[in-house]
């Protein structure tokens, strides 16, 4: 029985904070070398207690199995400019010694019926507490800016309709997901041209809105 949720969630918040710092640090290193960063920006959140409780019921997760069976209490999202960047980020994560990848779910090759696309990685990440080391499960979602735009809109509509979309809205959302993916593919076609233009900016002289 979780009696003190704030206490239970503290190491999850620490994991999210640390991962955000590390991933933003990767972007800084690319900028430092005046190279295109596959990471555009990073966000993170700890799942709200109500969402945890709702998912426990929906997925039949017992409270004493939460730490092992709920993989997305700590969540980090990495946004990329291009689909190719997503796979570069995945390779970078696979190389890291501070995270242990447990599972990968490619919802880009295997698009969800809703139209949702993203690459999900479930990792085990050690946080250092005053009581010692604790391994935390975290879900890292990697997506393009276009995928993120679609998912953000769909998520808010989902909240309103509780997943039961009217069929015309559901069809519109699917078609919007395909339009977003077409935009990603169009951008990939001119990726080299775009990156060349971006390299003409001196990163040190231009403001960085991603921090």
Determine how many CB atoms are found less than 10 A away from the CB of residue 67: 15
Q: Which is nearer to ligand 0O2, 26 or 142 (CB)?
A: 142
Closest separation between CB of residue 21 and ligand 0O2, Å? 21
Q: Which residue, 36 or 139, has its beta carbon nearer to ligand 0O2?
A: 139
Instruction: Tell me the CA distances in angstroms from 14 to 44, 191, 201, one per residue in order.
Output: 11, 36, 35
Q: How far is the CB of 157 from ligand 0O2 (least distance, A)?
A: 9
Residues shown for the chain: 211
135: helix, strand or coil: strand
Of 36 and 120, CB closest to ligand 0O2: 120
- Per the residue annotation, which of 18, 95, 139, 186 is the catalytic one? 139
Catalytic residue check, 139: yes
Q: Give the shortest CB-71-to-ligand 0O2 separation in angstroms.
A: 6
Q: Tell me if 94 sits within 8 A of 102, measured CB to CB.
A: no
Rounded Cα distance, 194 and 154, in Å:
28
Q: Binding residues for ligand 0O2, per CB under 6 A?
A: 47, 51, 55, 59, 72, 75, 105, 112, 114, 116, 120, 151, 154-155
Nearer to ligand 0O2, 36 or 180 (CB): 180
Nearest distance, CB of residue 158 and ligand 0O2, angstroms = 6
**Are the C-beta atoms of residues 73 and 52 closer than 8 Å to each other?**
yes
**Which pairs from 192-200 meet CB under 8 Å and 24+ separation?**
194/81, 195/36, 198/36, 199/34, 199/35, 199/36
Going by C-alpha positions, the residue among 84, 152, 95, 153 that lies closest to residue 119 is: 84
Catalytic residues: 139
């Amino acid at each position: 029985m979780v009696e003190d949720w704030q206490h239970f969630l503290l190491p999850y918040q620490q994991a999210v904070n640390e991962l955000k710092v590390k991933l933003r640090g990767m972007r800084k290193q690319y900028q430092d070398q005046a190279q295109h960063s596959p990471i555009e920006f990073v966000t993170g959140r700890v799942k709200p207690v109500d969402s945890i409780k709702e998912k426990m019921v929906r997925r039949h997760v017992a409270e004493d199995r939460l730490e092992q069976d709920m993989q997305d209490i700590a969540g980090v999202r990495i946004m990329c400019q291009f689909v190719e960047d997503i796979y570069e980020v995945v390779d970078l994560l696979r190389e890291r010694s501070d995270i242990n990848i447990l599972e990968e779910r490619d919802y880009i090759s295997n698009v969800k019926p809703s139209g949702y696309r993203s690459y999900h990685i479930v990792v085990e990440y050690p946080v250092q507490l005053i009581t010692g080391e604790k391994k935390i499960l975290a879900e890292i979602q990697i997506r393009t800016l276009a995928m993120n735009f679609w998912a953000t809109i769909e998520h808010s509509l989902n909240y309103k309709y509780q997943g039961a979309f009217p069929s015309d809205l559901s069809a519109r959302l699917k078609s919007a997901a395909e339009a977003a993916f077409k935009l990603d593919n169009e951008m990939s076609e001119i990726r080299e041209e775009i990156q060349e233009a971006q390299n003409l900016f001196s990163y040190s002289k231009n403001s960085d809105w991603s921090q």
